[in-house]
Amino acid sequence: MHAIFFLQNGQGDDVTTHVGRLKNIWKDLQVELEKEENKNLLLMCRIVETLPSEYFSFVSSWRLLNKAEHTVDNLTDQLCKTESVKEEALFASRFRPTPKVKHQT
């Protein structure tokens, strides 16, 4: 996560210094976001950070992907595939045939 979200007013800093520091960080962030490879970075971060806890292993895998693979389309595709696999597993578990019980006579 970027420093702008965690910066606190430094001990002894006046408001002008604090605001100036935030503005400098904001400018740096804007420069980074203007780069083609970072165009949708905030959107992807928000998607990943708001996924339910059962997507923990998906998020871990996503973060390990090569930066070039970090696109909104790829993220969406991977999430859809993951969701599809989960739904198939849920469907299979609900409609699993019950084993036949042999009656002893």
Summarised one tens digit per residue, pLDDT across range 56-99 is: 999 999 889 988 888 899 999 999 888 877 777 666 777 666 66
Q: Domain range spanning residue 36?
A: 14-94
65 within a domain of the structure (yes/no): yes
Contact 28, 20 (CB under 8 A): no
Domain count, the chain: 1
Sign of CA dihedral 63, 29, 38, 40: positive
Task: Give Cβ neighbours of residue 70 (< 8 Å, ≥ 6 apart).
Answer: 41, 44, 62
Q: What is the pLDDT of residue 1?
A: 46
pLDDT above 60: residue 105? no
pLDDT band per the 50, 70, 90 thresholds, residue 50: very high
Domain assignment present for residue 5? The answer is: no
Q: Is residue 69 part of a domain?
A: yes
User: Does 41 fall in a domain?
Assistant: yes
Q: Does a structural domain hold residue 101?
A: no
**Does residue 2 lie within any of the structural domains?**
no
Structural contact between residues 63 and 41, judged by C-beta atoms closer than 8 angstroms: no
Q: Work out the end-to-end distance of the chain between its first and last CA atoms, rounded to an integer number of angstroms.
A: 68
Asked whether the predicted pLDDT for residue 6 surpasses 60, the reply is no
Residue 6 belongs to a domain = no
